[in-house]
Structure 1
Amino acid sequence: MTQRRTFPRLRLLGSLLLVVAAGITGIGAAPGGAAPGGAAPGGAAATPGVRPLGDIVPVPASARPGGSPYTLTARTRIHVDDDSREARRVGAYLADLLRPSTGYALPVVDHDGGTGGIRLRLSGREAALGDEGYRLESGRRGVTITARTPAGLFHGVQTLRQQLPASVEEDTRQPGPWRVAGGTITDTPRYAYRGAMLDVSRHFFTVEQVKRYIDQMALYKINKLHLHLSDDQGWRIAIDSWPRLATYGGSTQVGGGPGGYYTKAQYKDIVAYAASRHLEVVPEIDMPGHTNAALASYAELNCDGIAPPLYTGTAVGFSSLCVAKDITYDFVDDVVREIAALTPGRYLHIGGDEAHSTSHEDYVTFMDRAQATVVKYGKTVIGWHQLVGANPAEGALAQYWGLDRTSDAEKARVAAAARNGTGLILSPADRLYLDMKYTKDTPLGLSWAGYVEVQRSYDWDPAAYLPGVPASAVAGVEAPLWTETIASSAHIDQMAFPRLLGAAELGWSPAATHDWETYRQRLGGQGPRLEALGVDFYRSPQVDWRTE
């Protein structure tokens, strides 16, 4: 299906679900679910043509239906507190989403103390909602979304969006009606770190393509965009002190082609756009391995002083910075300093995986110095889980990408680090790598971690995944999309959707709601919304895809 949305306008994405009522009262989704038009969550009678309250992805912590639905009309206004610039920004975002399909003006106005319409309310007294939670109250007279922070208000808007019919995502006027089920949703995230990674090194993606993916992530309350900015095949960010990294090291990609890189202004544009969707960008410079693009750009970074040729293949583990040279650490300092200055977020990822050409002693030496540099410039270290083979810095996060079949010894090392204070981001490759084929017949993707169908991707518990890891050590989850075979937004659609939605639910929703049968029912209702957004998703046979 063709992609009709232009994402700088922030549209692509929509919520999904037409679903079937999935019993979601209090905190848990009851097994099974009613057919469309049957019993609403909690046993209340469903209103025809109204999506049951809480029938969204990620499923909310608490959805208590009750009362009459609210209907948007040409008279609807979006009310914000007159002293809240942040609430007004969220209101403008919501209005821009809803105007094309409804045809309504939806003015964003100062709240006058009355009732009716859509009210966006920030309140510092709502401590229980935390940094990202919200409460949505809907009834005949209007909808009120309350949050303690702008991020929580933004997430509440995504819920409101998903409660509306899928046709709200269209960019031309639709007939409606535009109804929101009555009741109250109270919702907070399970994990603070809910990420998706886009590898722009194997294949380069433009600023607009990255923004498109940001909009898709935002709908599902994902709050971290991990950008894999360097690898053997390409260096994708301008560094003033080492300009050939981008101009030469960024001049190709897997299979050849022109590659590309982001200027500093373009990278800042991505960061700002992500921030407007309440996502934090996590930049990654992978080292000491996965560095052929840098080694090809500057001969002095090689131990023998000879620059290798640029690389367009897909093998791994053959490259390494020269650990013994002082200039290597000048390079690391310059790169980290410049990227840290461009990145307001708290994290900087230094990779550290598959350094097969680096001895263990050299690896420990390098990672210790690289981590100290990250800390020096005010950032928190993230590394792939091989980081635990060195000395993780205080507060560092290790990103686990192992498999069910990963050796017990390797899992034990990760667990020991977690018990000693290193936080974990879980990205098991045979569960959350979005570049793994769904089945043997999937035309895109790889299969070294096995085939990862939709159920396998969703049906596991991050808190109990690694033996010996305390639940408190799990910072969250992230779904990486490596791009050896991914070269377009259409490819991203096929491989990320619908598995990205399951990753989002694993990161946001309470463990008590986790149930494959009720999830697959909600997922099945998402087809019309994804279609309205121009997302050509994989129609897994494990899911009964519905029509609106």
Structure 2
Amino acid sequence: MGIGTSTRRLHGAALALLLAATSAVAVGAASPAQATPETSLRHIVPAPVKVTPRPGVTYSLTAGARIQTQPGSADARKVGEYAAELLRPATGYRLPVSSGVTPRGVTLLLVGADPKVGQEGYQLDVTPWGVVIRARAAAGLFAGVQTLRQLLPAKIEAKTRQSGPWTVPGGSVLDYPRFGHRGAMLDVARHFFSVDEVKRYIDQIAAYKVNYLHLHLADDQGWRIEIKSWPRLATYGGSVEIGPGEGALYYTQEQYKGLVKYAGSRGITIIPEIDMPGHTNAALASYPELNCDGVAPPLYDGTEVGFSSLCIDKPITYKFVDDVLRELAALTPGPFLHIGGDEAHSTSEPDFKTFMDKVLPLVAKHGKLAMGWHEFVKTNPATSAVPQFWGTETVDADVAAAAARGNKILMSPAVKAYLDMKYDENFPLGQDWAALIEVKDAYDWNPGAYLKDVPESAIRGVEAPLWTETLADSSDLEQMAFPRLPAIAELGWSPQSTHNWDDFSKRLAYQAPRWKAGGVKFYPSTQVNWVK
């Protein structure tokens, strides 16, 4: 008892000194180096709630620096290990991670944060002696680390050792998100992306405080997740894609669990989607009995939509759906299963309602909440269900009615948030059926006031979908996502009061050297005066 009490007293004394040190930094304090223009507190994306620069104050990360984490917190320790993993390649420093609260190096604390930061926000303070990030939960520490990486020189993103100095500008940041859901979607059904490619995308979106990754795992063109009770879904339904594909074009359950774990280590929750009752040709081709006539159609590698449907009247349809949802729920610790529901043009309205009335309870049966494209709200799902709005208009009576009932809406309007749309008519990748979307178009809208009769209080957040009919590799994904994904991420994170295109474009411009250092092939939009 005496040892424990003594230890707590020591930690309390050290913490008191640390809090005093980081809250009373003199504006004119001496510093070993001046911050470079690319490491200004004014260049952070997404924009923080409040930034207070301290001119003349800097901190330089040196070879002797340590990363200290909240004593006794395994969660803080994990974030500290992530921060070290992030900073070691370019600096070449050891950056050992240990428990501690001294005001030197980089310190991650779960005490002392302003209650305003909630579960995902943070406070960051830079003094001449170190960087202190305080939060109320590990998610907040993780967000603070993403801000810290933007305060270091751009070459911190390099995967090989670079020369220093590693200088951070002095000041403080108070920050927390506008919406709790800030998502990205990756379509791995139209074109399959390997585990390593998905991990690369996870790392890239995590940098902008995205906290959900929606994986579109099944469509007409391919089934991408192993289901042990229906093995041909993957081995046969996952054998083709749009364009030439080779090998097993699906994730084993172990690979999927690995992706879930990796995403979690980057502060991201996976939302798996099995689109139904339409967009199901890969499943119908794999098992004849899922077809009303008992005849399997051929595998499909085209781009048309709306021609397929599960057989609504067959009991085996719901045995199939139940098995798939059961296995997927067991693999997915996150709260949601996405059941699609869009473009079911070959399913009659009565059949669509019958299907959803039977499937939505199966989602709940397996301990999950339902998410779906906004068409499914016409069946009046429970208010716990999340409709994802992807429409091209600013009026949708069904979605407005769902919001009035209490459903929270996830905003992904195709004319603003679809990352697969072309930038202009001459861009070689993407499509243009919804709109041509330049980076300013992606940024200049308000998720809380976009849909008529849907107030901000009914908005869960935003998601940027990336469909892959025309995309084949990570380079293609990056050109479509960057710079538009950071724009959508800012709409989800930053207060509406900070929304200003001129300011955002200037901050966005400073991301270019970071993308170049990290090997991200971004689209150099002429709407932005990029920093070289």
Same fold (TM over 0.5): yes
Q: How does 1:290-439 map to 2 (within 5 A)?
A: 290-404=279-393, 408=395, 411-439=396-424
1:246 matched to which residue of 2?
234
CA deviations over 1:43-101 (Å, ceiling 9, x no partner): xxx95556221421111011111251111112211112331122121111111221222
Contact 2:114 2:123 in 1 (8 A): no
Tell me the CA shift for residue 141 of structure 1. Answer: 1.3
Q: Distance in 2 between matches of 1:386 and 1:81?
A: 46
Q: Distance in 2 between matches of 1:216 and 1:257?
A: 25
- Correspondence 1:507 to 2:486: no
2:181 matched to which residue of 1?
193
Report the residue type matching 2:330 in the other structure: A
1:234 alignment partner, one of 222, 246, 264: 222
Report the residue type matching 1:320 in the other structure: S
2:526 matched to which residue of 1?
541
CA deviations over 1:240-288 (Å, ceiling 9, x no partner): 1111111110010113533611110000000000011110000000000
Report the residue type matching 1:77 in the other structure: R
Contact 1:202 1:484 in 2 (8 A): yes
Report the residue type matching 2:511 in the other structure: Q
Q: Distance in 1 between matches of 2:333 and 2:400?
A: 30
Q: Distance in 2 between matches of 1:134 and 1:124?
A: 10
Q: Distance in 2 between matches of 1:293 and 1:49?
A: 52
Q: Distance in 1 between matches of 2:342 and 2:69?
A: 47
1:119 alignment partner, one of 107, 114, 122: 107
Report the residue type matching 1:175 in the other structure: S
Q: Distance in 2 between matches of 1:251 and 1:52?
A: 49
Q: Which runs of 4+ in 1 moved over 4 A?
A: 46-50
Contact 2:38 2:510 in 1 (8 A): no
* Residues 104 and 257 of structure 1, relative CA distance in 2, 3 Å threshold: closer
- Correspondence 1:474 to 2:459: yes
2:432 matched to which residue of 1?
447
- Correspondence 1:94 to 2:87: no
Which range is displaced more, 418-427 or 51-60? Answer: 51-60
Structure 2 gap ranges (5+): 1-33
Contact 1:196 1:222 in 2 (8 A): yes
Aligned positions, number: 497
Report the 3-state secondary structure (helix = DSSP H, G, I; strand = E; otherwise coil) of the residue aligned with 1:286.
Answer: strand
1:524 alignment partner, one of 488, 509, 515: 509
Q: Distance in 1 between matches of 2:47 and 2:339?
A: 33
1:289 matched to which residue of 2?
278
Structure 1 gap ranges (5+): 1-45
Tell me the CA shift for residue 127 of structure 1. Answer: 3.5
Please, what is the CA RMSD of the aligned residues? 1.4
- Percent of aligned positions that are identical: 59
- Correspondence 1:489 to 2:474: yes
Report the 3-state secondary structure (helix = DSSP H, G, I; strand = E; otherwise coil) of the residue aligned with 1:532.
Answer: helix
Report the 3-state secondary structure (helix = DSSP H, G, I; strand = E; otherwise coil) of the residue aligned with 2:52.
Answer: strand
Report the residue type matching 1:270 in the other structure: L
Contact 2:325 2:362 in 1 (8 A): yes
Report the 3-state secondary structure (helix = DSSP H, G, I; strand = E; otherwise coil) of the residue aligned with 1:350.
Answer: strand
Which range is displaced more, 367-376 or 118-127? Answer: 118-127
2:40 alignment partner, one of 52, 57, 64: 52
Q: Distance in 1 between matches of 2:399 and 2:475?
A: 36
Tell me the CA shift for residue 299 of structure 1. Answer: 0.7
Q: Distance in 1 between matches of 2:63 and 2:234?
A: 51
Q: Distance in 1 between matches of 2:275 and 2:103?
A: 53
Report the residue type matching 1:263 in the other structure: T
Tell me the CA shift for residue 171 of structure 1. Answer: 2.2
Report the residue type matching 2:72 in the other structure: D
Give the structure-1-normalised TM-score.
0.89
Q: How does 1:91-170 map to 2 (within 5 A)?
A: 91-111=80-100, 113-123=101-111, 127-170=115-158
Report the 3-state secondary structure (helix = DSSP H, G, I; strand = E; otherwise coil) of the residue aligned with 2:41.
Answer: coil
